[in-house]
A and B are shown apart, each in its own frame.
Chain A
Amino acid sequence: MKPFRRLAAAIVAVTVVATACSTGSETTAATTNKGVDVTDWSGVLKAAHGQTVRWYAYGGSDAINRFIDETYGPPLKAKYDITLERVPVADTVDAVNQVLTEKKANKNPGAVDLIWINGENFKSLKSADMLYSGWAQKLPNAKLVNWDDPAVNKDFGVPVNGAESPWASAQFQLVYDTTRTKQAELPRSYARLKDWACAHPGRFTYIAPGPGAFQGTRFVKQALFELSGGAKQWTTFNQGRWDSQQDKLWTYFNELKPCLWRNGETYPKDESELHKLFANNEVDFTITQAIVGPGSLIDEGLVPKTAKAFTFDANSIGDYSYVAIPSNAPDHAAALVLANLILDPGRQALQIDPAKGFGLGYAIDTSRVTDTAERSALDLAATKRGPAAAPIDELNRSRVPDAAVEYQDLVESGWRTHVLGT
């Protein structure tokens, strides 16, 4: 097998090279920077000079794509002579696979410098030992992050260990249309939601849980929290607890199913499909993770002007997303500079501003920002969330941490078997 494969490979290579002459083969002539020491920041900056940072990020949101290109690209170039190359992926798992495949092929330097990541994807790269660790808390701007907060130093229950640095925070919310549903009639719990859905058959649906659709998985996990009497118990993994509670969960979703859009036969695959159903008046609710609510969705024409966010009274999952550096990153130093720039109070203030940002919340703890001008810019941005946003006290009151990462697969495969498959 092996010799044949090598022979075949050689023949293909020779033939093609011979017949193809030269074709614009993309060279990845990046230097490896194994010697970079995070604590020597001026050394990092020097090493990063002239490098390219290839940032693999979920590319499905125009707002996020634009924000990355416009907010980080120009200062990286001007201040540090670093070129930002944003690589959009349909699903973060594609970036993870890229790194894992490179590990298999012993490819060093690889292709990826930075990944926007959290949860399961973080866990699989970390357990494959393919992430640089111990750097995130040593970035100059790491002092602005509340690393003592378990929501920051644990990612889906997995200790971060300085292997990723936070970018933004998010919280699960529902979105309704004020012209269709009265505020007083909004369902504020899963129990009430089922009543509402069955009183309005076909007018509610949720995103199918599964790889690449964490919002759907989150929606189901929140139901688990409510049905089992609280979110706290789920932050550590306990198979016995899952076994004893999961039936309740599937019973709930199977009772909900006949009341759903298209009788729960099929579900939207992603947020944008759910927005479309909501905008076309096929269903009455969509969702958002943005702290600013549906403001940017309204500006993009994705949902009606009269859309507004709200949360349930409890069990609304809030969390952080991060950036991580693969251990075979070609331009390691440039990735560190970008990870630090992301925490810069000025950029953080931009990302929450509905006019410029993508609506996710701060990664930094604003109380740690000592510069008064920066501090007031952050506070001002927070007030600009606009009328479509959910009230901040509603968000704070209902926020709970996500469940331990081990539950992710159990929820997704369980939903497939017990809800979709019946």
Chain B
Amino acid sequence: MRVAVRSTLSMMLGLAVGVLAVAAVSFRWVFPQVVPDEFSVAIAARTLRSPATGAALGTGIIVSVSVTLIALALAWPAARAMARTSGRWRGIVFAVLFLPSILPPVGLAMGLDVALLNLGVDGSRFAVILAHLVPAVPYAVAVLTATLVRYDDRLDLQAATLGASPLQVLRHVTLPQVRSGVVAAAALTFVVSWSQYLLTLLAGSGRVITPTVLLFNAASGGNPVTTATLALVVIVPVLVLVSVAAGAPDQGVPV
């Protein structure tokens, strides 16, 4: 049965990514050609080299890295506290944190846009980063908590007793022990931010263009080869990050 799940998922993902990859180097790939008659890397190369793609990649990385760092900084103390508290408190905090995820995404995006506009920051990368924190922070807290639950903090106490400063403890004792969990949390937080289309579009007033926004625009009216290329630009970093994150054990979301 596990094999069935594995092969179904691999087939689905492989088909999706494979078709996009072939489409990106095809030329006039039309029905009923299963394999393209003509190949060309000209359009893909043009798309990758275009200043718009470069700028979007830069913006996307700046936004998602900022979101990841801020979300981890906010989530770390919360996760340490949660890892130590009883089930009931944890339940309440998670309920509050995940409450926004039962708001309709379209309503959340429109509401945040108006809110950011009232703050006078709408249309900037800063606004997009703020908006992304709302869906990103809960995931960071959840994954870090799942890691820290298994962490034995008597080690920290020992180090502190031996005279280590809180920062030294964090750097030399705690982090090395939970590194894989932190990496997983960082990777998944990055991905949550990287994937946002509507939030980015509205909070950024259409001016903050990430690869995901570029992809959506191409998908609604652009050349299919360009669209496929941009889809790969969006997917490849996710693939890499997920591979990194999957190295960490058990990062399910403990609801």
Contacts and interface: CB of A to CB of B under 8 A. Distances in A.
Interface of A: 5, 9, 12-13, 16, 19-20, 23-26, 28, 54, 56, 59-62, 65-66, 69, 86-90, 94-95, 98, 101, 105, 107, 111, 269-273, 276, 279-282, 300-302, 304
A325 B187 CA distance: 42
Q: Which of B38, B52, B62, B226 has the most CB of A within 10 A?
A: B52
Contacts of A20: 66, 70, 129
A59 B27 contact: no
A26 B118 contact: no
Interface of B: 27-28, 30-31, 38, 40, 43, 46-47, 50-52, 62, 66, 70, 73-74, 115, 117-126, 129-130, 133, 205-209, 214, 216-218, 220-226
B50 A66 contact: yes
Contacts of A54: 207
Nearest to B218: A60
Nearest to A73: B51
Q: What is the predominant secondary structure among interface residues of chain B facing chain A?
A: helix
Nearest to B74: A19
A422 B125 CA distance: 45
Contact of A60 (B46, B70, B74, B220): B220
10 contacts: A28-B123, A60-B222, A61-B221, A69-B51, A87-B207, A88-B209, A89-B206, A101-B117, A105-B120, A276-B224
Q: Which of B30, B50, B118, B121 has the most CB of A within 10 A?
A: B30
A23 B126 contact: yes
Contact of A272 (B52, B115, B117, B222): B222
A111 B216 CA distance: 22
Given A26-B208, A60-B217, A88-B52, 19 more contacts: A19-B70, A56-B206, A60-B220, A60-B221, A60-B222, A62-B47, A62-B226, A69-B52, A90-B217, A98-B205, A98-B206, A105-B118, A105-B120, A111-B207, A279-B28, A281-B30, A301-B27, A301-B43, A301-B225
Nearest to A6: B118
B66 A98 contact: no
A28 B124 contact: yes
A105 B52 CA distance: 29
Closest 10 CB pairs of A and B: A60-B221, A25-B126, A26-B124, A301-B28, A280-B31, A270-B221, A301-B27, A23-B66, A26-B125, A280-B30
Nearest to A23: B66
